[in-house]
Amino acid sequence: MTKNGINRIRVVLAEKGLTNKWLAEKTNKNATTVSRWCNNDMQPSLETLLDVANVLGTDIRDLLWPTKQ
């Protein structure tokens, strides 16, 4: 994913009316870390991404971009 690409975590948070701070609290992560995920400055590990998906009540695939069409 490029730095300028759309970030799926950010999109799902917006769709659900949730904030980065809320996600940070629910995942026991630093708010700066979550912000960096949402700004594509860094990406969570797959294990962490699964935790994020569970907290958001979504399928992990909703947080990933397809590589094949």
Pick the CATH number of 8-58 from 1.10.260.40, 1.10.3720.10, 3.10.20.30, 1.10.4010.10: 1.10.260.40
In this prediction, residue 4 carries a pLDDT of 54
CA distances to 2, 12, 38, 46, 66 from 19, in Å: 22, 10, 10, 21, 25
Q: Where are the domains of the chain?
A: 8-58
Tell me which residues of the chain have a pLDDT lower than 50: 1-2
Q: What Cα–Cα distance (Å) separates residue 46 from each residue in 5, 17, 60, 68?
A: 19, 24, 9, 19
In terms of C-beta density within 10 A (0-12 exposed, 13-18 middle, 19 or more buried), how is residue 52 classed?
A: buried
pLDDT of residue 29: 97
**pLDDT at res. 63:** 92
Residue 67, pLDDT score: 66
Task: Give the residue among 48, 47, 43 at the shortest CA–CA distance from 65.
Answer: 43
